[in-house]
Structure 1
Amino acid sequence: MPDTIHVLNGPNLNLLGTREPAIYGAATLADVEALCRAACESHGLDLVFRQTNHEGTLVEHIQEARGACGIVLNAAAYTHTSVAVRDAIGGCGVPTVEVHLSNVFAREDFRHHSYITPVARGVICGFGPQSYVLGIAALAAGRTKPA
């Protein structure tokens, strides 16, 4: 598990490719997963890739990532609303990169606040599916190999 990245996705990301393509692009969640798999392989990492529309399930996925070398998290709307997701990240002890497909700071004011950011190692937004690849690269660069 130490050489594993968990890429976790929140609500409505299962609709990528058809949901508001002017904002989120044409790539599907399967396309994003394929990019993440290729990125992890290039860094010698295994991948766990999950999506859920349910807050409690997302919390469980975060908890299940304990012991991994990192989490790339697109909590979607839960970014702006969920103390439970924030507390799960804060409590799991796994370096986490918050990612967003769109530039949340160029959008509605309510999207400018994140409960995740204070407990994340960093934030990457606005690069479409490449946001995930950049998050994986950041975690791979920062990991420490067991002795």
Structure 2
Amino acid sequence: MKLLVLNGPNLNRLGKREPEVYGAETLADVENHLQKIASEHLVDISFYQSNTEGALIDKIHECEDNGFDGIIFNPGAYTHTSIAIRDAIASINVPVIEIHISNVHSREPFRHTSLIAPVCIGQLTGFGTGGYELALQAFLLRRKGVRL
């Protein structure tokens, strides 16, 4: 199994940006934790973060072209604004799980709508950085044939 963990704008600031909302873990901490779990389950996992919409779209397209089995995607603020990212996900035949560290539904009203969710197989929100691990576990269940 080959997975990409894709992170959008400002996620490079984890551990520094609003720790009362996003926690103290850095993106490197999250990646190291996921790499350990992936290795235990013989999953080839890659990581990519960009603050640029076009770079994220290119990476989404590359996943299909390079035979990835899934994407764990925290699109950050692009969740609520990017029709282009939504269309990129819809254009590929690779399942995507959308995640958010904070519970977007308990925050400002503009965060309550995801343009991305309708083209994803699922959404995890509000589980802190543990949402990344939950998404990885969901892909492991899919590998076993569990329908999600």
Q: Assess same fold via TM > 0.5.
A: yes
**Aligned length, in residue pairs:** 143
Could you say which residue in structure 1 is the equivalent of 2:80?
80
- Alpha-carbon distance in structure 1 between the residues aligned to 2:113 and 2:107: 11
- Alpha-carbon distance in structure 2 between the residues aligned to 1:73 and 1:35: 16
After superposition, where does 1:49-128 map in structure 2 within 5 Å? 49-66=47-64, 67-128=67-128
TM-score by length of 1: 0.94
The Cα of 1:144 is off from its aligned counterpart by 6.4
The Cα of 1:39 is off from its aligned counterpart by 2.3
Which digits, 9 at most, give the CA deviation of each residue in 1:66-93, with x for residues without a partner? Answer: 1211100000000000011111111111
SS in 1 for 2:102: coil
SS in 2 for 1:92: coil
**Which amino acid in the other structure matches residue 81 of structure 1?**
T
Identity of aligned residues (%): 50
Could you say which residue in structure 2 is the equivalent of 1:28?
26
**Which amino acid in the other structure matches residue 90 of structure 1?**
A
**Which amino acid in the other structure matches residue 73 of structure 2?**
L
Q: Root-mean-square deviation (CA), in Å? A: 1.2
- Alpha-carbon distance in structure 1 between the residues aligned to 2:90 and 2:123: 15
- Alpha-carbon distance in structure 1 between the residues aligned to 2:47 and 2:126: 20
SS in 2 for 1:114: coil
TM-score by length of 2: 0.93
